[in-house]
Amino acid sequence: MKGLVEQVKKKISIIGVPMDLGQTRRGVDMGPSAMRYAGVVERLEALNFEVDDRGDVEIGRPNKLDVKNDKNLKDLNEVVKANEILADAVSNAVEKGNFPLVLGGDHSIAIGTLAGVANKYENLGVIWFDAHGDLNTGDTSPSGNIHGMPLAVSLGIGDTSLTKIGGYAPKIKPENIVIIGARSLDDGEKELIKEKGIKVFTMHEIDRLGMTNVMEEAISHVSQKTDGIHLSLDLDALDPIDAPGVGTPVIGGTTYRETHLAMEILAERDLITSAEFVEVNPILDNKNSTAEAAVGLIGSLFGEKLL
């Protein structure tokens, strides 16, 4: 498995996805710009990475926002089209030997990211930092928001227009997933977690075991049978005190320092082969602090140290 250390002499391909159609709170489409403004490119270049900023994926706009179809899926056509474009962009980055770093945008973009990454690996592992499970379908979602469905979609569960993005399904296997930081799960998600045996570290486990032990257990679980590991980090995994600029904040999340530690441990273990940071919403933020937190976490993931 080629991780970050082996990627040092290669490029990081940054792909922005200004997607706000996977949920109903406007503003998250400015997340990629906010992270660029917070200095993500300069931060990575200072770590001696060669950065290839590919700009933003084009996102179409429906005539009317937040419209559910008869399958309880909002703005489905536009979400599908954007993720198809993203899947191609990510796939091209991987084919060039670059590390794909995707900046969101709401978490529905993980559908396209995983579609572009997973076909390059026999068994892709996924570390999913999130307050939520993102394991809903149109049948179980209370809202119809597709940003609450990307992990289920990537498992091949849900509407075929979503699960077949990239031309294949499933993208990942349940035994190769670890969810970290969960504290808000819908009933359908809880059932699916139990049915599929998905490994979840809720905030209870983080409080009880500590982040170091959680990360060691998570890494041990997700690296056993995998040949690549994708990191998907939703900024709402952090407590709203440290990341106020998110669309679906849930109190009681990980601290900024705990999350930094998690990224530092991943950097030390040199396992991550692709990543995305999502749900930064500058409209809801305080002086771009959430974007700055995201960029700080990206720095730690790519090996930044104090000394």
Q: Which of the following is catalytic: 29, 78, 130, 276? A: 130
Tell me how far apart the alpha carbons of residues 217 and 228 are, in angstroms, rounded to a whole number.
Answer: 17
Residue 147 is a catalytic residue: yes
Q: Which of the following is catalytic: 279, 285, 292, 304? A: 279
Residue 132 is a catalytic residue: yes
Residue 236 is a catalytic residue: yes
Beta strand 228-234 with 11-17 is unpaired
Q: Which of the following is catalytic: 78, 205, 234, 285? A: 234
Tell me whether the omega of the peptide bond preceding residue 148 falls within 30 degrees of 0, making it cis: no
- Distance from CA of residue 94 to its chain's centroid? 17
Q: Which of the following is catalytic: 147, 221, 230, 260? A: 147
Residue 264 is a catalytic residue: no
Q: Which of the following is catalytic: 159, 205, 236, 239? A: 236
Give which of 201, 7, 189, 171 is closest to 87, Cα–Cα: 171
Residue 134 is a catalytic residue: yes
Q: Are 280 and 293 in contact (CB under 8 A)?
A: no
Q: Which of the following is catalytic: 20, 75, 132, 304? A: 132
Residue 279 is a catalytic residue: yes
Please list the alpha-helical segments (H only) found in 102-237: 110-118, 150-154, 160-163, 187-196, 203-209, 211-222
Residue 260 is a catalytic residue: no
Show Cβ contacts of residue 20 under 8 Å, excluding neighbours closer than 6 positions: 26, 27, 28, 29, 59, 105, 106
Q: Which of the following is catalytic: 78, 134, 258, 292? A: 134
Q: Which of the following is catalytic: 56, 106, 107, 292? A: 107
Residue 234 is a catalytic residue: yes
Q: Are 302 and 44 in contact (CB under 8 A)?
A: yes
Active site residues: 107, 130, 132, 134, 147, 234, 236, 279
